[in-house]
Structure 1
Amino acid sequence: MSDVVEYQINAMVKLRKYLSLEKISNNINNVLALRMNPRFVELLKSSSPILQYETCWVITNIAAGTTEQTRTIIDAGAVPVLIELLRSENKEVRTQAAWSLGNIAGDCGEFRDIVLHGGTLQPLLELWNGNDSIESKNHMLQVAMWTLANLCRWHRSDWDVLAPAFPILRQSIYFEDPAILSETCWALSRIFHGSHPKVSYLLDLELCQRLVELLKHENISVVNPVLRTLTNIAYGDDQQTQLIISAGAIPILYELLDSPNASIRLETILVLANITAGTVAQIQSVIDEGCLNRLFDILNNTKESFKIRKEACWAISNATDVKHPQQIRTLINMGVVHLLINFITDCLYDTTIQQKCIDALENILIASESELSNASKNSMIPSSYGWNYDPWKVNSSNNSGSNASSNTISFNDNDDSLLSKSINNLSLSGSSSQISKGSKSSHPPSTTSGFKDRSRKSSTPYLSGFESRNLQKKNKTNQSSKWAHEMSAFNQLWKTVEILENAINKTNYYHVQGKRK
């Protein structure tokens, strides 16, 4: 390559445009085949800001490729030079250097650590200072916040190193620019996904109130990461969950359940699912606002996506975990038993959510059993079922159902005749999901790390098997005819749950409860 700066600039512009064409991965490989990476690092040290800027742009596009392609940039020694350029006097160079580092950090945890421990954070935070114009500074801060969000990405982030960024995040959440707000909330969502004690320093009622305000933002790109942040906050202990409720989130979450945007509905349900995994009072706040009714509607709506219906089922099931008699009575009166049994037949290939349904039915029956042991109390089995209620005969509004003869249950589905089998031979297979990398783009990342199941301790230990519970079902000959019918329906429900659970247990799945990230 020529030593004439004008020629070098021209060459970098052509390379940058070439790397922006279609088939980016192939084009990156063609550029890497030239073995020019060491030369690119030299050009980053040029005294020409234009050449530095164009070279940063080339590196940014290479770092947007695969992990191996990105590694060639690191191996060439580009990271320390890019960090130095964060303090360039030229704001375009600072911005593009931050973008390059963001793409590198966004590739994987290993590269994130290289960028973070290379000393990126302090000069990156300094970008919030300076006398640049508001318009130009906004663009620079959008990129800087996106880079900061990627530094918070991946597991096992070093929060001791990232802690100096927390005040900037608190400040940036009050910006008006939607892009900055979006990236700030993505950063917060990833921070609250962690469990380091320093993370709790960020969290207070004021922050939660601002997040709740942003739920009303007209831009979906802001609302989505806000919901994800609230989900991760509610994943914490009951005190963290209460902050969200105290900030007034539930009425707005109720409204968002009717959003025309599927991703907003999904993220809203995830927040509610972590709230319903909380205390009795927290669950009641969801019931009182009418959110549980809406979740029932969503679960029963076969036109809704299965993914959203599944999360609605998870939220409803969580509400049964504390086994509060009055809340269980409310759920039964709303038709939860029918709803859960119907949904089990809709998700034969997802044994995790099937087991969650089984756990919910068991919670309902345990609470009902305790209530029914006192004949002076009202019935837990609603009169709307009738005293001849047969749990084997469940009519489903979605054209799938269950029926039984002797000790078998047949699950029917129009798409697969193999689903109609004896329960003793039913083979259920779980499903897996993949999460795309989605972190290296000129646009804000659209996804963060996947959700995790969290076992939640309960004051009522889970009893394996049904023998111990059946011992408690004593015949009470001095009870009324209504009581006898009620116990009959109650025992039939136990039998239904027992057979369904035996089918699930064939796949060696364990009980799943509680909150998720």
Structure 2
Amino acid sequence: MPANRLNIYLKSELPYLMMIIQAAGDATKPQKQLSAVQEIRLLVCSESPPINELIENGVLPVLVECLKEKGHKSLRYEAAWSLSNLASGNSEHTTQVVAAGAVPYLLELLKSPDLDLCEQAVWALGNIIGDGPLLRDFVIRLGVVPPLLSLVQQDMPHQFLRSVILAIGNLCRHYDPPISAETIDQILPTLNVLIHHEDVEILKATLWTISFLADGSQDQIQMVIDTGMLGKLISLMGDKEDTVRRAAMRAVGNILSGNDEQCQKVLGLDPLSYFPTLAFFSDTELREEILFILRASSRSQKWVQAFINVGLLAKITEILGRGEMHEKAVAAMVISNLTINCNEEQLLVLIEGDVLQPFCDLLTSQFEQLSRTVLNGLRNMFEVSQSLADKVAQTIDECGGLAKIEILQTHEDVQIYQLALNIIERYFGCET
């Protein structure tokens, strides 16, 4: 169809839509049928696709019928492409594609030796799965996982594998409820293969998929650890590609949200040695992932010492003073967490590293959670300090922290004013 003619009908005039849908359903005229399905595909791929109008006028059963034409590759290809785009609309559109009976025929196409045809089915199924847990579980019950995973072969073109891993990623997204442990068990060996892939896009998508799984329960985190991929995950935090590093850091950070034993598995592999200290501020998204890991993982004096040894304290201090507000909040959580498990010697490093000035400046933030975070951190410092108690109090006073704590004694939030009152009475020898 000429481009200018297509533009005329992009507004989806009803007589025209009905005409091409009727032609697409007429198998007695194969060439006209193929042309009509191609025009439908052009419409649904256009900038303003008339999805509602096409569906209301019966395009879905026509396209599903076209998927059945096993002797006509081009027709099936165009129909699968059209269904893929229709399934990428809103949730109602996706549900209607499924209700029209498309999924069983798309699953059949996963077994096609023709990679172009197979890839269109992968895209369509990936869009359906990505709608949410209801349709995801429906497609899983119909058996999508084994044929989808079987497509991950060493000799497959990179572009094809990118489509496959994106569909697998949609299976693993952190919906409520999550996918079953049985399905995760099926998927993880494939992810353990793809995590070694040379293609950056495949590797990045694989890492995000792993991060989705690690963002679940402790049982899911343990399943990821049990694959033996943890060492590779941590090493990829030092990859030359920023997008790979960010995805790897998110996956490792999610694992660190697990129990103490799971965290120790990570810490035992020295993840901080992969942190790019010189380039720490070069990429905003990378910096946020690093902060995410540091916030999640202050579990022991050994971790605190590793944090100090690689020079991260100065970086966190700089963020406390000059970062964006959401970065300051995470940096404050990092410092507060470090104070839970540090010893006196490590506490002295924190104090002499000029942390207290920007840390205390956040006490009177407009965000209550941030005020609580800083107060908790200061209280932790006093609880750790013995011979250093006077030095901690003096430094807090000199940087204006004491005056801010006194102000917080009248805060409307009960937890904040009680924390402030407790610190004043116990460590500054004052009464209200």
Q: Given the two structures, how large is their TM-score scaled by the length of structure 1?
A: 0.70
Residue 307 (structure 2) pairs with residue 286 (structure 1): yes
Alpha-carbon distance change, 195 to 427 in structure 1, aligned in 2, over 3 angstroms: closer
Alpha-carbon distance change, 161 to 383 in structure 1, aligned in 2, over 3 angstroms: closer
For 2:326, the equivalent position in structure 1 comes to 307
Alpha-carbon distance change, 388 to 288 in structure 1, aligned in 2, over 3 angstroms: closer
Q: Which runs of 5+ in 2 are unaligned?
A: 1-21
In 2, Cα distance between equivalents of 1:68 and 1:228: 32
Q: Displacement of 1:280 after TM fit? A: 2.1
Residue 130 (structure 2) pairs with residue 120 (structure 1): no
In 2, Cα distance between equivalents of 1:382 and 1:54: 71
Alpha-carbon distance change, 124 to 290 in structure 1, aligned in 2, over 3 angstroms: same
Q: Choose from 238, 246, 257 the match for 1:224.
A: 246
What pairs up with 1:345-494 in 2 under 5 angstroms? 345=364, 347-348=365-366, 350-368=367-385, 371=386, 377-378=387-388, 380-381=390-391, 385=395, 391-392=401-402, 408=407, 424=410, 490-491=428-429
In 2, Cα distance between equivalents of 1:12 and 1:386: 73
Alpha-carbon distance change, 341 to 23 in structure 1, aligned in 2, over 3 angstroms: farther
- Tell me, yes or no, if the aligned pair for 1:160 and 1:198 is still in contact at 8 Å: no
What pairs up with 1:9-20 in 2 under 5 angstroms? 9-20=34-45
Q: Which amino acid aligns with 1:29?
A: N
Q: Displacement of 1:178 after TM fit? A: 1.0
- Tell me, yes or no, if the aligned pair for 1:340 and 1:361 is still in contact at 8 Å: no
For 1:139, the equivalent position in structure 2 comes to 159
- Tell me, yes or no, if the aligned pair for 1:275 and 1:283 is still in contact at 8 Å: no
In 1, Cα distance between equivalents of 2:37 and 2:397: 80
- Tell me, yes or no, if the aligned pair for 1:286 and 1:292 is still in contact at 8 Å: yes
Q: Which amino acid aligns with 1:34?
A: N
Q: Displacement of 1:251 after TM fit? A: 2.4
- Tell me, yes or no, if the aligned pair for 2:375 and 2:420 is still in contact at 8 Å: no
SS of residue in 2 equivalent to 1:209 = helix
For 1:339, the equivalent position in structure 2 comes to 358
- Tell me, yes or no, if the aligned pair for 2:332 and 2:374 is still in contact at 8 Å: yes
Q: Which amino acid aligns with 1:80?
A: P
In 2, Cα distance between equivalents of 1:389 and 1:340: 10
What pairs up with 1:170-319 in 2 under 5 angstroms? 170-195=192-217, 197=219, 199-203=221-225, 207-255=229-277, 258-276=280-298, 278-301=299-322, 304-319=323-338
In 2, Cα distance between equivalents of 1:300 and 1:260: 17
* Corresponding residue pairs, total: 403
For residues 420-472 of structure 1, the C-alpha deviation after alignment (integer angstroms, 9 at most, x for no partner) is xxx747689xxxxxxxxxxxxxxxxxxxxxxxxxxxxxxxxxxx76888888x
Alpha-carbon distance change, 309 to 8 in structure 1, aligned in 2, over 3 angstroms: farther
SS of residue in 1 equivalent to 2:339 = coil
For 2:339, the equivalent position in structure 1 comes to 320
For 2:190, the equivalent position in structure 1 comes to 168
For 1:106, the equivalent position in structure 2 comes to 130
SS of residue in 2 equivalent to 1:235 = coil
For residues 103-142 of structure 1, the C-alpha deviation after alignment (integer angstroms, 9 at most, x for no partner) is 1111212222122222100011111248xxx4x5322211
For 2:11, the equivalent position in structure 1 comes to none
Alpha-carbon distance change, 247 to 469 in structure 1, aligned in 2, over 3 angstroms: closer
For 1:159, the equivalent position in structure 2 comes to 181
Q: Displacement of 1:256 after TM fit? A: 7.2
- Tell me, yes or no, if the aligned pair for 1:186 and 1:226 is still in contact at 8 Å: yes
Q: Which amino acid aligns with 2:372?
A: Q
For residues 239-280 of structure 1, the C-alpha deviation after alignment (integer angstroms, 9 at most, x for no partner) is 33233333342022243762422111101110111122x122
In 2, Cα distance between equivalents of 1:362 and 1:382: 10
SS of residue in 1 equivalent to 2:391 = coil
Q: Choose from 53, 57, 61 the match for 1:34.
A: 57
In 2, Cα distance between equivalents of 1:306 and 1:30: 46
For residues 303-327 of structure 1, the C-alpha deviation after alignment (integer angstroms, 9 at most, x for no partner) is x322222222221111122363333
Q: Which amino acid aligns with 2:391?
A: I
In 1, Cα distance between equivalents of 2:223 and 2:318: 38
Q: Choose from 32, 45, 49 the match for 2:68.
A: 45
Alpha-carbon distance change, 157 to 354 in structure 1, aligned in 2, over 3 angstroms: farther
Q: Which has the higher helix share?
A: 2
For 1:478, the equivalent position in structure 2 comes to none
For 2:6, the equivalent position in structure 1 comes to none
- Tell me, yes or no, if the aligned pair for 2:152 and 2:161 is still in contact at 8 Å: yes
- Tell me, yes or no, if the aligned pair for 1:214 and 1:226 is still in contact at 8 Å: yes
SS of residue in 2 equivalent to 1:57 = helix
Alpha-carbon distance change, 337 to 56 in structure 1, aligned in 2, over 3 angstroms: same
In 1, Cα distance between equivalents of 2:312 and 2:120: 45
- Tell me, yes or no, if the aligned pair for 2:382 and 2:389 is still in contact at 8 Å: no
Alpha-carbon distance change, 107 to 220 in structure 1, aligned in 2, over 3 angstroms: farther
For 2:9, the equivalent position in structure 1 comes to none
For 2:12, the equivalent position in structure 1 comes to none
Q: Displacement of 1:390 after TM fit? A: 5.6
In 2, Cα distance between equivalents of 1:367 and 1:140: 56
SS of residue in 2 equivalent to 1:255 = coil
For 1:150, the equivalent position in structure 2 comes to 170
Alpha-carbon distance change, 193 to 386 in structure 1, aligned in 2, over 3 angstroms: closer
For residues 189-218 of structure 1, the C-alpha deviation after alignment (integer angstroms, 9 at most, x for no partner) is 111112263652432695233223322333
Q: Displacement of 1:149 after TM fit? A: 0.9
Q: Displacement of 1:184 after TM fit? A: 1.0
Q: Which amino acid aligns with 1:6?
A: Q
Q: Which runs of 5+ in 1 are unaligned?
A: 372-376, 394-401, 410-422, 429-463, 474-486, 496-517
